[in-house]
Structure 1
Amino acid sequence: MPPPSQPPWTPSDAVGEALHVLRMSGAFYCRSELTAPWGATMPAMPGCLWFHVVTEGRCLLEVGDDLLELGPGDIVLIPPGGGHVMRSEPDVSAPSVLAIAHELSGDNYALLRYGGGGAQTVLVCGAVKFAHPAARTLVGLLPELIHIPVSPLSGRLQDTVRLIAAEAEEMRPGGEAVLTRLADVLVIQAIRAWLETAPRTGWIGALADPQIGRALAQLHRDPAKDWTVASLAAEAAMSRSAFAARFTEIVGESAMAYVTRWRMNLALDRLGEGATVARIAAELGYRSEAAFSRAFTRVVGEPPSAARRRAA
């Protein structure tokens, strides 16, 4: 039986389902009003995705060896949550953003006003986390830097950017909640825009494959079912042998190895939520706690009790 938090409906394709579970929790959101010269170093946020939206002015972004000039409407995602630097111009000192005075407005929203009094740049920034294993897998496959500039093809994204800019400027009562929800929508839109042009290889290619993707969607929807290569092949409308060969070719592991790994990813989440081993075993289709624990230890490398202690 699925965990109580599972939604009562799901999209019909695996890519849509992966996007559907991109529900996120904000670790940090910030509206920054910056005047030249200014610089700030964003710390690494493991397990998070950084995003930046320029609503006014220009700035430079340094991520590793990459240097980008950003202007109004530009959107940047840094999926690994890696540290990076933003400046008004080259060679400006960039202290840690954590060391710059800011005004808190809510538990995870801040207003930052900083700089030397020159030309203004306004940013809406944040770091978000993803809970569902499908979402984390998808985000883990994104490149280290995604830059979506203003273009005729980014119309829907720009509609959201304009809403964010207007809400951030006015900041009416409840504005923090509206702004953070809009930022979440923007992140999903940006990931979808990247997926539309991404190489269709590996897990992303499997999701997009008309036959393998259909089988993956059913597995993700009902992980407790007694899945076999034959039943997955039936979902894909393929022969058992053709399905097994194509699945391994696209995904890089056998279908049943993927089934087990997917279940263990779900189990890790449920352990972190405090669910009992017996409940998790039942939710994932195992006939006994012992069978589940053996599979978990084989895949994860430690027993459920140890994983629970680490997640606590």
Structure 2
Amino acid sequence: MKPMSASDRLARVLYALRMRSTFYCHAELKEPWALEMPAIEDSVSFHVVTAGTCHLRLPGADPIELRGGDLALVPHGRGHDLLSTADAGPSQRVDLLPQNYLSEHYSVLQHGGDGRAAQLICGVVSCDDPAARELMRSLPAVLFVGGDTVSAASSVRDTLRLMAHELAHPQPGGEAVATRLADILVVQAIRSWITTSTETEVGWLRAVQDERIGRAIEAIHDDPGAEWSLERLAQVATMSRSSFSERFTQLAGEAPIAYLTRWRMNVAHARLLNEDITAARLATDLNYQSEAAFNRAFTRVIGRTPGSVRRQGNDPASVPSVNRATRVAHTTVGELS
């Protein structure tokens, strides 16, 4: 089989992106207003201004102005604020504001004073796919796509218009359509950033696109339970062990075996959430000599025990639902004109 090219590997990652859940709000905000969006682990927030302006502020950073047609993604699940002006007063928690929840995945919010109105489409998308998690780690704190960006304007705007129509005119199956459109929107924004950004000189994205290191990463992803060693991975990359280890670490930001371990644990995390599977079976599938060794590695990398993650996957009530989680995090959506 012909090895994948760098562009093929990247296309495969984008194609495989799957979102676990999505939530939307539909609102008109009138100055003055300031909203706090608390953090949600392993999530991507998106905010689109369809009329007026607003500012997005992350802790410790200067506010970013968003104008009509602009799209901003906050990919690391970080808490942030949306403000009517850069110097707006104290932010109010979104979940404490009165709003109309039309369904588990959709609410309508009207908030603010008597000043100028801003309309936005915002949502939160969560993902636990291993490749998606790696991709999100590589993205900047805020990914911005300007409405006047020629390469992105048409595709993003068309997707937003379809999404706004689905949310503004609810009908059977509308939520499913809007969810798929959110997947597309996030991928479009990420793709636009990848093709235009100069910030991908290092990190996972750069490593995936490297001709030799990308081959080794592809091999790990295709068969995480294989008996990988530094020597065998170097052979896949057609490099010496020392050159491979140095190049891999330089691009990916961690040593090859550390990456292998983290990838395996992310695979295990996703399977524990989505399958009825035991730690013992995962230990075998991922080439660990014992369940105890697997448990130690999983807890060290993920920060939780396999058992706690498995219980979470088997008991939806033990995890904040999309509705509850995003009530704490996201608001503001308005129709596209």
**Shorter-chain-normalised TM-score: which range?**
0.7 to 0.9
- Following superposition, the deviation at residue 305 of structure 1 comes to 9.6
Distance 1:303 1:209, change over 3 A: closer
Name whichever of 53-62 and 110-119 sits farther off: 110-119
Given that 2:298 and 2:304 are in contact with CA atoms closer than 8 Å, whether structure 1 keeps it comes out as: no
Residue identity in the other structure for 2:36: T
CA 26–56 in structure 1, closer or farther in 2 if over 3 Å, else same: farther
Tell me the secondary structure at the aligned position of residue 61 of structure 1. strand
CA–CA distance in structure 2, aligned partners of residues 302 and 63 of structure 1: 26
CA shift at 1:98, angstroms?
A: 0.9
For residue 69 of structure 1, the aligned residue among 65, 70, 74 is: 65
Give yes or no for the alignment of 1:224 onto 2:222. Answer: no
1:46 aligns to 2:41 (yes or no) = yes
Q: 1:187 matched to which residue of 2?
A: 186
After superposition, where does 1:128-143 map in structure 2 within 5 Å? Answer: 128-143=125-140
Q: 1:263 maps to what in 2?
A: 264
Under a length normalisation based on structure 2, what TM-score does the superposition of the two structures give? 0.77
Residues 22 and 135, structure 1, Cα contact 8 Å, conserved in 2: yes
Deviations 1:175-210 (A, max 9, x none): 333223212211121122222223220322211101
Q: Normalising by structure 1, report the TM-score.
A: 0.83
Please give the per-residue CA displacement for 1:116-138, whole angstroms capped at 9, x wherever unaligned.
Answer: 35433221111221111221122
Q: Which residue of 1 aligns with 2:252?
A: 251
Assess, with a 3 A threshold, how the Cα gap between structure 1 residues 231 and 49 changes in structure 2: closer, same or farther.
same
Is the deviation greater in 194-203 or in 113-122?
Answer: 113-122
What is the CA distance between 1:55 and its match in structure 2? 1.9
1:279-290 matches, cutoff 5 A: 279-286=281-288, 288=289, 290=290
Number of corresponding residues: 299
Deviations 1:91-117 (A, max 9, x none): 355421111111112212211122335
1:240–1:94 distance in 2 versus 1, CA, 3 Å: closer
Distance 1:271 1:261 in 2: 15
Match of residue 325 from structure 2 = none
Give the equivalent residue in structure 2 for 1:7.
Answer: none
- Report what 1:154 is aligned to: 152
Aligned-pair identity in percent equals 39
Residues 296 and 304 of structure 1 are in contact (CA less than 8 Å); yes or no, is this contact kept in structure 2?
A: no
After superposition, what is the alpha-carbon deviation per residue over 1:17-76, rounded to whole angstroms, capped at 9, x for unaligned? Answer: 332332112253212222333332222223322211112222222222321221221111
Change (3 A) 1:277 1:42: closer
Structure 2 gap segments, 5+ residues each: 1-5, 312-337
Question: What is residue 277 of structure 2 aligned with on the other side?
Answer: 275
* Per-residue deviation, 1:241: 4.8
CA contact (8 A) 1:14 1:207 kept: yes
Residue 111 of structure 1, aligned match among 108, 112, 117: 108
Shift of 1:298: 4.5
Change in 2 beyond 3 A, CA 1:17/1:265 = same
> Residues 252 and 114 (structure 1 numbering): CA distance in 2 closer, same or farther, change over 3 Å?
closer
Instruction: Tell me the alpha carbon deviations over residues 206-233 of structure 1, each in whole angstroms, 9 at most, x when there is no partner.
Output: 1110111122112101112222334433
Q: Higher relative contact order at CA 8 Å, sep ≥6: structure 1 or structure 2? A: 2
Q: Taking structure 1 as reference, are residues 302 and 207 closer, same or farther at Cα in structure 2, changes over 3 Å only?
A: closer
SS at match of 1:105: strand
- State the distance in 2 between where 1:302 and 1:200 align: 26
User: Is contact 2:283-2:294 (8 Å) kept?
Assistant: no
